[in-house]
Amino acid sequence: MTEIVVLGAGYAGLRTVRELSGTSNVHITLVDRNSYHYEATALHTVAIGTNEAEHITFDIQKAIPKDVTFKQDNVTRIDTQNKTVTLEKEATPLQYDYLVVALGFESEDFGIKGAATYGLPLQDIESAQAIRKHLEERLAAYNDSHDERDLHIIVCGAGFTSIELLGELVYRMPSLVEQYHLPADKIQITCLEAMPKILPMFDQKLVDFAVQFLADHGAIIHTSTPIDEVTDHSVISGDNVYEANTIIWTTGVRGSHVISDSHFDQKRNRVAVTSQLTMKDHPEVFIIGDSSAVPDPASGRFYPTTGQISIAQATHTAKNIKASIDGTPLSDFTYKSLGTVCSLGPTTGIAEIGDSGRIKLKGRKVALVKKMVNDRSIMEESGFANMMRNLS
Catalytic residues, by residue number, are 164
Q: Is 192 in the site for ligand NAD (CB under 6 A)?
A: yes
Query: Quick check: helix, strand or coil at residue 25?
Result: coil
The three state secondary structure string of 153-197 is EEEECCCHHHHHHHHHHHHHHHHHHHHCCCCHHHCEEEEECCCCC
Query: x/- binding map, residues 214-253, to ligand NAD, per CB under 6 A?
Result: ------------xx----------------------xxxx
Determine which residue in the list 246, 291, 305, 317 makes contact with ligand NAD, applying CB under 6 A.
Answer: 305
Residue nearest to ligand NAD (CB): 159
Q: Is 202 in the site for ligand NAD (CB under 6 A)?
A: no
> Residue 177, exposed/middle/buried by CB under 10 A (0-12, 13-18, 19+)?
middle
Instruction: Answer for the pair 382, 37: CB distance below 8 angstroms, yes or no.
Output: yes
Angle of the 11-20 helix axis to the 364-382 helix axis, nearest 10: 40
Our CB check for ligand NAD shows the closer of 158 and 244 to be 158
Our CB check for ligand NAD shows the closer of 192 and 259 to be 192
Q: Is 339 in the site for ligand NAD (CB under 6 A)?
A: no
What sign does the CA torsion over 227, 229, 232, 235 have?
negative
Determine which residue in the list 160, 264, 303, 333 makes contact with ligand NAD, applying CB under 6 A.
Answer: 160
- Find the part of the chain contacting ligand NAD (CB under 6 A) among 87-95, 152-160, 209-217, 360-368: 152-160
Q: Is 310 in the site for ligand NAD (CB under 6 A)?
A: no
- Pick out residues in 365-384 that bind ligand NAD (CB under 6 A): none
Determine which residue in the list 340, 374, 377, 382 makes contact with ligand NAD, applying CB under 6 A.
Answer: 340
Cα–Cα separations (whole angstroms), residue 296 to 209, 302, 308, 335: 30, 5, 15, 8
Cα–Cα separations (whole angstroms), residue 333 to 215, 264, 359: 41, 22, 25
What sign does the CA torsion over 190, 196, 198, 204 have?
positive
Determine which residue in the list 93, 295, 304, 339 makes contact with ligand NAD, applying CB under 6 A.
Answer: 304
Q: Is 342 in the site for ligand NAD (CB under 6 A)?
A: yes
**Closest approach of ligand NAD to the CB of residue 178, in Å:** 29
Q: Is 306 in the site for ligand NAD (CB under 6 A)?
A: yes
Q: Which of 332, 321, 262, 318 is nearest to 291 (CA)?
A: 262
Contact positions vs ligand NAD (CB under 6 A)? 41, 110, 112, 156-162, 164, 192-195, 226-227, 250-253, 304-306, 340-342
